[in-house]
Structure 1
Amino acid sequence: MIYEQTKTACLELIRLERADVRPVRLLVVGASSSEVGGGQIGKASQPQLGGEIARAALDAAREFGVDVAFQCCEHLNRALVVERRVAEKYGLEPVCVVPYPKAGGSVASAAYRMMDEPVVVEAIRADAGIDIGDTLIGMHLKPVAVPVRLAANLVGEARVVAARTRAKLIGGERAKYNL
């Protein structure tokens, strides 16, 4: 059930076609296995649920050729797990740490172990993000974040909040945004 709910939410966000938002090339995923399991964030880590969430997000991203980053918990300063090729593609400098369920979070820890060549980076600027259980992913989104209300708004017991991003509108009342 957790795998299916997570994958459905990720696919819904990736597939969304709106003229006012960027296409998804890089997706950030933040998830609390504690919240998914009905507990309080950071207090009831569940590695099995973390694995289901990570696998579902990876599978959804692969279907559309989207790069994915998994946010660690605050004990690792909300750093992110990505494939080495993703870090190189976006010019991100890896840091030296390996996430574990109690220091990084169950989801990021599971993702690290599922990836071919994982690295951890301090920050990214993603085109879209999915937050499962109030993990505060906004710091890793490009400006300007546009909230997306998903039909798939729960994973287990956790709320799902999502966003896509758009280009900044500049210039004031005289500015035009179309030809």
Structure 2
Amino acid sequence: MNFEDMDKAWNQALEEFFAQACLKPRQIVVLGCSTSEVMGQHIGKASSEEVAEALLPLLLAKVRARELYLAIQACEHLNRALVVEEACVEQYGLDAVTVVPSLLAGGSMAVKAWQNYQAPMMVETIRGHAGIDVGDTFIGMHLRPVVVPIRPSIKSIGHAHLTMARTRPRLIGGPRAMYPVV
């Protein structure tokens, strides 16, 4: 694994993500990241602290510079619960759950988030405004409707497939819609 190439790809992908996501301060970015997939292994089989240590600081810096919240999805063993800052829990009225992510139940990225957040908490559900999925972790359950794909020029981080999305409010009505006379 060439970490220098991975870092360059990650930086480029994040620049494109933030340019297209149109996020406002205090909105939520969801990250799902299989460090196993980044290393070319099957998801959940080779969690890599080294990969998490390489990817998280840059993302965290970019999120904090924009005054956003970062919700990091843990693995299936924790029902894809998310690590968030306590301020996010308070602002959005989220229900916290009691668990601490580990390498075997949560994954490397969730562990690193837990270690690097100011006041980490876990939640089972969230409605993020945009998301980044590294390694097909399927973060869609944590995004608001309507999800709109972001098509980055970077298609993978390491060996892991990369997808990104933003959300928009539902469009209702339109030129063919009928409304009652008031």
TM-score (norm: length of structure 2)? 0.88
Deviation at 1:4, TM superposition (A): 4.0
Match of 1:171 among 145, 158, 173: 173
Opposite residue 145 of structure 2, the aligned amino acid is P
**SS class of match (2:15):** helix
**1:46 paired residue number:** 48
* Alignment of 1:14 onto 2:39: no
**1:66 paired residue number:** 68
User: Do the aligned partners of 1:132 and 1:161 also contact (CA within 8 Å) in 2?
Assistant: yes
User: Do the aligned partners of 1:7 and 1:56 also contact (CA within 8 Å) in 2?
Assistant: yes
CA distance in 1: counterparts of 2:8 and 2:61, whole angstroms: 11
**1:84 paired residue number:** 86
Q: Percent identity?
A: 45
User: Do the aligned partners of 1:7 and 1:60 also contact (CA within 8 Å) in 2?
Assistant: no
**1:33 paired residue number:** 35
User: Do the aligned partners of 1:54 and 1:108 also contact (CA within 8 Å) in 2?
Assistant: no
**SS class of match (2:53):** helix
CA distance in 2: counterparts of 1:175 and 1:73, whole angstroms: 42
**SS class of match (2:61):** helix
CA distance in 2: counterparts of 1:65 and 1:43, whole angstroms: 34
TM-score (norm: length of structure 1)? 0.89
Structure (1 or 2) with the larger CA radius of gyration: 2
CA RMSD, 1 decimal: 1.8
User: Do the aligned partners of 1:7 and 1:59 also contact (CA within 8 Å) in 2?
Assistant: no
Moved more, 22-31 or 167-176: 167-176
**1:126 paired residue number:** 128
Deviation at 1:6, TM superposition (A): 2.7
Moved more, 93-102 or 60-69: 60-69
CA distance in 1: counterparts of 2:12 and 2:65, whole angstroms: 12
Structure 1 residues without counterparts, runs of 5 or longer: none
Deviation at 1:14, TM superposition (A): 1.6
Deviation at 1:55, TM superposition (A): 1.7
Opposite residue 116 of structure 1, the aligned amino acid is Q
**SS class of match (1:41):** coil
CA distance in 1: counterparts of 2:10 and 2:167, whole angstroms: 20
Deviation at 1:175, TM superposition (A): 4.1
